[in-house]
Structure 1
Amino acid sequence: MKENFISITCTPAILFQPLADGLIGVSNSTKAQNAQEFGSSVHNIVDAISKMVEETAQAAYLVGVADPRSEPGRPGLVDHLQLQEMQRNIQNACQAMQSSDITDKHVSRAQYCFALLSLSYLQFHSI
């Protein structure tokens, strides 16, 4: 019983730490105007969110399989194609910000994609 309690209480901390580190990195790199570190931090955030979504889906599957009253599955809450497109847009914007040819459009696109990704994450975890 004690092992289950430790597992349940430690899991959120383990899952959220990379996300928290990425958000701190975005904040710090923005203040320092370090585009390369900003890109790296955004990449870490995307990886952390992708991992959380994957692990959440796996946990939901296991819970569903274990419940004798479970019903057949329905379409997922996360649009993986949209998530991949946002990830590509963020990566492209970060690469553009690392070059000397950066425009306001590149910065705006990165901010927009990052905001959408953050909102998607918050929506997913409020369900």
Structure 2
Amino acid sequence: MRDKRSQRTEEQIQQHNADARVSMQQLREEQSEDTRAERNEVIRLEQRQSRRFTVSRRRTNDQQRQQVHCAFTSDSFLHLVFQYEPDIEYYANSKVVIGALDKECPHCHVLKFKNELPGMYCASGKVQLPEI
């Protein structure tokens, strides 16, 4: 059917559309006012049902999106440490900021991340390891 439609010329398309308009006009003239009103009511009910389904589906999608968002809030990351999923790209979340190893411990001169506590590796200079 799709192939037939794609192979039609512009004149054939125009003729088909004109024929469809004429047949629709004849159908409307043959129908009584009551029949037309019933048909319109059926169409309205179908549209309402379709809208309800669409709204329901959107609500479901929004709820799922909120659940995923809640899973990526900063508080929940503390719990996710023990439930790590390798398929989830945690680094892509805006709440996850790891940064670079660009801070230096004042005691042992080890490079560390921005928010790591000072002296975390050397107990603030109390532990000294021999150089390798």
The TM-score with structure 2 as length reference comes to 0.27
Higher relative contact order (CA 8 A, sep 6+): 1
Q: Which has the larger radius of gyration?
A: 2
The TM-score with structure 1 as length reference comes to 0.28
| Larger helix percent | 1
